C-alpha cells in the first residue's frame, strides 16, 4: 500500500540515508566473507532509501516492501534500474536469510548497481 502524507521524511532525508548505507556497503571489505555478506544486505537497504527518496518527492510513502516493489515494477522512471532492484533485493534477502556464500563478483555487482541507482535518483530529487 502506498500512502500520501506531508508528515513523513523529505526526499533529501531518504537520499542522505541511502548515501550513508551506500558508503557503508562500499567500506565493508570485498575480501572478508562476513563483511561481503553484510555489504549485500546494506546495499539493498540503500536501494530502498533511494526509491523512497524519489517517491517522497511526490509525497508517496510505502507501507511495506510489496508496495515499493509494485512502484518499481510499474513506474517507467525505474526502467533503467529495475533489473538492479531485483538483483539487490535477491542478493540482500539471501545474504540475510540463507547460508549461501557470496564471492567478490557479487560484491562488485551490488556496488555497480548502487552507482546506477544514485546516478538515476540524485538528479530526479534535485529538480
pLDDT, residue 28, reads: 97
Q: Which CATH number fits domain 2-125: 1.20.120.330, 1.20.140.10, 1.10.287.130, 2.60.120.260?
A: 1.20.120.330
CB contact at 8 A, 12 and 125? yes
Sign of CA dihedral 75, 76, 77, 82: positive
Domain definitions of the chain by residue range: 2-125
pLDDT, residue 127, reads: 75
pTM for this one? 0.91
Distance CA 37, CA 47 (A): 16
Neighbours of 41 (CB within 10 A): 21
- For the chain, 127 residues long, the average pLDDT of each consecutive 10-residue run is 60 96 96 95 97 95 94 97 96 93 95 96 90
pLDDT, residue 4, reads: 53
pLDDT, residue 126, reads: 85
pLDDT, residue 8, reads: 66
pLDDT, residue 2, reads: 54
Distance CA 103, CA 77 (A): 31
Length of the chain as a residue count = 127
Neighbours of 127 (CB within 10 A): 5
Cell numbers representing residue 126 in the block: 534535485
Amino acid at each position: 500500500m502506498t500512502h500520501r502524507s506531508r508528515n513523513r521524511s523529505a526526499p533529501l532525508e531518504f537520499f542522505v540515508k541511502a548515501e550513508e548505507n551506500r558508503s557503508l556497503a562500499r567500506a565493508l571489505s570485498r575480501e572478508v566473507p562476513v563483511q561481503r555478506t553484510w555489504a549485500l544486505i546494506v546495499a539493498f537497504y540503500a536501494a530502498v532509501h533511494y526509491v523512497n527518496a524519489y517517491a517522497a518527492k511526490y509525497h508517496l510513502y510505502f507501507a511495506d516492501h510489496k508496495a515499493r516493489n509494485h512502484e518499481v515494477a510499474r513506474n517507467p522512471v525505474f526502467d533503467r534500474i529495475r533489473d538492479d532492484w531485483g538483483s539487490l533485493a535477491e542478493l540482500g534477502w539471501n545474504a540475510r536469510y540463507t547460508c549461501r556464500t557470496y564471492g567478490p563478483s557479487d560484491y562488485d555487482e551490488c556496488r555497480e548497481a548502487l552507482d546506477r541507482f544514485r546516478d538515476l535518483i540524485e538528479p530526479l530529487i534535485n529538480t
